[in-house]
Structure formats: structure tokens, C-alpha cells
Amino acid sequence: MLGFGNKDIPDKIVKLGLKKWYSALSEPDKVKLKRYLDAADASSVSAFIVSVFAAATEDHNYKFVADLSETLGEFKISDIERFDINDAAIIGVYNTEDYPRCIKLCESGLELLGKKDVFDHVMAKSTNGKIPDQIYCRNYLLNIVVGIYFDYDEGDKLLLRFQDMGLITPEDVEYRRNSIKTFRLQRTFDNVFNLKEKEE
């Protein structure tokens, strides 16, 4: 039987040189990690963490992703690997509704994207020369600013910022600006309608 105490560390963890990290995890997190261990990609530390995050997110185990992502600060990894791990954590943190922390992750990802090697790494995932759809630090920052905080002016500023960074095309900026306008008008209409209902 596979044990999960400090004296019985899973082989994948040992091979990746993560014994110290694993030993510092809480017992509940070790048990949760066991659920995803067999299918985890052990080709590198970053691939391992990203694959665990992906499996846990698909399993709707968002709190585990959020908790585990807080334990990775001392990993000696490249900027590209750090970006991949950071981006993989964003959906989990977002779904715990810890929006301030999710914004911090998004801003960290955008800061890393300012580095040419990280930017080129992300753009290499594009198909047909298009900017990739799944850049979570970009997508979820806009989701929170517009969809959670209803800060439409800041949403417009973000779109221009993303355009300047090469993360969105001018055409997509206009499309998304129009979408924000529609969302804003619909929400205003809904609020007026609800107010009228209360008055009646």
C-alpha cells in the first residue's frame, strides 16, 4: 500500500526532486494530490504541477489548486515554466471567488509576458497565425474587472493595454468593446426593470 507520510514519498515526487516541498504539504493536500498523481506528467517540475492543476480544475477541485499554488514560491524554475504554472492556477483561484488574489496572479502573468522568451513561448501555441485564445492571465483579468466589478472604463483600458502588448488584435479590441457596451446597457436595463418591479 502506498503511504503518504514523510518516510514514504511517491516515486514521481522523488524523481522530480520535490521531497522537501511534498513533505511540507498538509496531510489533506497530500491525500488530494494522490488522486491526480498517477496521471500527472513527470517530465519536469512545471509539467507535473500544470498537469495536476489541470486535472484538479477539471475535477472542480478549485480550492486544492488555490491552496497548492501558494506553496510553489521557492521553486527554481525558468520564467516560461513559472508563467505556465501561474496561468494554470488562475482558473482554480478564480472559481474560489478570491478575486483580489486572482488579479494578482493575472498581473504576475502579464508581467512575465513582457519578457520576450515568455511572449514567444505563448505565441508559439497559436494556430493559423492567430493570437491564442487561452491566455488566462489576460482573459480572467478582463472577466473580473468587467464581469465581477463592473468597471467598464477599466475594461476598455485593459483592452488597449492588451493590444499594446500584442495580446489582442485591433479588430478584437473593437469587438470586445462593443460587447462590453452591450453588457453595460443590458445590466442598466435590468436594474431599471427591477426598480420598476419594486415600485409597482
* Cβ atoms of residues 49 and 17 within 8 Å: no
pLDDT tens digits along 172-186: 999 999 989 888 888
Mean pLDDT of 108-117: 97
| Residue 5 confidence (pLDDT) | 47
Mean pLDDT of 127-148: 93
Predicted confidence (pLDDT) at residue 128 exceeds the cutoff of 90: no
Residue 29's contacts (CB-CB under 8 Å, 6 or more residues apart) are 64, 67, 68
Domain boundaries, the chain: 11-199
Backbone dihedral angles phi then psi of residue 150, each to the nearest 5 degrees: 55, 40
Predicted confidence (pLDDT) at residue 198 exceeds the cutoff of 50: no
Q: List C-alpha distances in Å: 199 to 185, 188, 190.
A: 21, 17, 14
Residue 12's contacts (CB-CB under 8 Å, 6 or more residues apart) are 37, 40, 42, 48
Give residue 115's pLDDT band: very low, low, confident or very high (50, 70, 90): very high
Residue 46's contacts (CB-CB under 8 Å, 6 or more residues apart) are 77, 81, 82, 84, 85
Q: How many CB atoms lie within 10 A of CB 109?
A: 25
Q: Report the run of H or E that residue 108 belongs to, with start and end.
A: helix 99-113
Angle at 77 between CA 75 and CA 79, to 5 degrees: 125
